């Protein structure tokens, strides 16, 4: 059993992947830092990890540490990383007690000398059940009350929350409320009123309604570069440019340039000198700049043209794969907030501070005057 039972804590779960759990956690952690001298963070079970100092660490733990400067060992913030063969090895030789002790000890170290601990789950309540560490089970192990994050609408969030509620209640875990995310701004009041009614019928409270912000689902040039394993040809200091539209330059130069505007990403084979010359002229004429340019098909323009592209004020990337393949990868990206996404992080801080009732959350976990 977890030794630390005094430090206030809350567990953030969601009704499904990409509902905004990490966004909510990031915003709540920022708000909590205004209330407490020090705050801890832990993601007990993580599925998306990076390799740091020979340790597999969940991406969200890395994000929180770097954004908030948390003075915590990453290995404690991410005690279990689900590697590709993790489930098979567990089913072959169950080591449940070992995993539980690892989570408990990690939590105790994260909670040490911190006034509050934010715990982030992985997906919906049942994720991890195959190795006996569902979100509901982990919340029980940590003796944490739960906030569920769901997406906009009226019927959908209430239906999906009810499904998750059943598993949490089976584990004896209390749900203190629900946050509804990605709601169209013009429908905030309408959704707030009717989702509140629906949740009350399930014995649950609505803690906040967060407006949809399209910029949070748009990739940066840095993310695109990393996902494509591309080379940065120009403007490496502008990789935080955000892409709002993808243009495949499989057309005449005049038509391709006519589609350029701020926020667009042009993908074109590296030997399309006509398109590239037109882009250069477009910028020289003072017509503004797109978000970026990707040279596809593992092709590079001639030396003089390449040198001219290197002087552009927006990122130029060189990638393998044809234009269709590159465009498909960019379109299908799962966009997660990164430590370098300053614009997105600032937006998330403001959204949570404005639209989520932190006082209600703290009161529910027994904190009266932090």
> What pLDDT, in 10s, does the model give residues 308-319?
999 999 999 999
- Decide: pTM greater than 0.85: yes
pLDDT > 90? residue 251: no
Mean per-residue pLDDT, 278-297: 90
Specify the pLDDT at position 234.
92
What the block records as the tokens of 92 is 């072959």
Mean per-residue pLDDT, 278-288: 88
Specify the pLDDT at position 83.
86
What the block records as the tokens of 74 is 């990453």
Task: Give the separation between CA 235 and CA 241, rounded to whole angstroms.
Answer: 10
Nearest CA to 45 out of 134, 117, 114 is that of: 134
pLDDT > 70? residue 370: no
Mean per-residue pLDDT, 37-59: 90
Specify the pLDDT at position 120.
97
Specify the pLDDT at position 19.
83
Task: Give the separation between CA 280 and CA 284, rounded to whole angstroms.
Answer: 6
pLDDT > 60? residue 1: no
pLDDT tens profile 194-204: 999 999 999 99
Return the C-alpha torsion angle 89, 65, 27, 114, nearest 10: 100
Backbone angles phi, psi at 148, to 5 degrees: -105, 130
pLDDT > 50? residue 65: yes
Mean per-residue pLDDT, 289-295: 93
Query: Which helix or strand (DSSP H or E) is residue 253 part of?
Result: helix 253-258
The residue written with tokens 């904190």 in the block is 367
pLDDT tens profile 129-141: 999 999 999 999 9
- What residues are paired with 220 via a beta bridge? 242
pLDDT > 50? residue 2: no
Specify the pLDDT at position 197.
95
Domains of the chain are 9-213+337-364 (3.40.50.300), 219-331 (3.40.1390.20)
What the block records as the tokens of 217 is 């689902």
Specify the pLDDT at position 143.
96
pLDDT, averaged across the chain: 92
HSE-up of residue 274 (Cα within 13 Å, Cβ side): 8
Nearest CA to 26 out of 335, 353, 357 is that of: 353
Mean per-residue pLDDT, 280-284: 90
* pLDDT band with cut points at 50, 70 and 90 for residue 285: confident
Specify the pLDDT at position 76.
96
* pLDDT band with cut points at 50, 70 and 90 for residue 369: low
pLDDT > 90? residue 26: yes
CA distances from 196 to 11, 27, 167, 203, 342 (A): 21, 22, 21, 10, 33
Task: Give the separation between CA 140 and CA 58, rounded to whole angstroms.
Answer: 21
């Amino acid at each position: 059993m977890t030794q630390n039972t005094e430090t206030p804590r809350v567990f953030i779960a969601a009704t499904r992947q990409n509902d905004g759990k990490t966004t909510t956690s990031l915003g709540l952690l920022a708000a909590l830092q205004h209330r407490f001298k020090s705050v801890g963070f832990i993601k007990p079970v993580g599925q998306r990890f990076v390799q740091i100092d020979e340790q597999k660490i969940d991406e969200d733990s890395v994000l929180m540490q770097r954004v908030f400067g948390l003075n915590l060992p990453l290995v404690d913030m991410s005690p279990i990383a689900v590697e590709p063969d993790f489930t098979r090895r567990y089913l072959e030789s169950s080591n449940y007690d070992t995993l539980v002790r690892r989570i408990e000890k990690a939590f105790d170290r994260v909670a040490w000398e911190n006034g509050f601990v934010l715990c982030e789950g992985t997906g919906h309540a049942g994720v991890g059940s195959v190795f006996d560490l569902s979100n509901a089970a982990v919340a029980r192990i940590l003796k944490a009350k739960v906030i569920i994050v769901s997406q906009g609408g009226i019927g959908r969030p209430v239906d999906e929350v009810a499904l998750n509620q059943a598993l949490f209640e089976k584990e004896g875990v209390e749900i203190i409320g629900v946050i509804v995310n990605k709601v169209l701004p013009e429908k905030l009041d309408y959704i707030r009123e009717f989702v509140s009614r629906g949740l009350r019928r399930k014995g649950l409270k609505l803690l906040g309604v967060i407006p949809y912000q399209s910029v949070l689902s748009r990739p940066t040039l840095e993310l695109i570069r990393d996902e494509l394993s591309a080379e940065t040809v120009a403007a490496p200091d502008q990789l935080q440019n955000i892409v709002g539209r993808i243009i495949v330059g499989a057309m005449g130069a005049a038509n391709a340039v006519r589609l350029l505007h701020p926020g667009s990403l042009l993908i074109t084979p590296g030997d399309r000198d006509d398109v590239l010359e037109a882009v250069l002229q477009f910028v020289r004429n003072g017509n503004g700049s797109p978000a970026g340019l990707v040279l596809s098909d593992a092709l590079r323009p001639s030396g003089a043209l390449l040198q001219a592209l290197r002087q552009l004020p927006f990122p130029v990337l060189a990638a393998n794969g044809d234009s269709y393949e590159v465009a498909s990868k960019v379109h299908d990206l799962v966009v997660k907030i990164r430590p370098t996404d300053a614009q997105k992080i600032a937006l998330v801080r403001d959204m949570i501070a404005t639209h989520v009732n932190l006082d209600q959350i703290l009161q529910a976990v027994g904190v009266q005057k932090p």
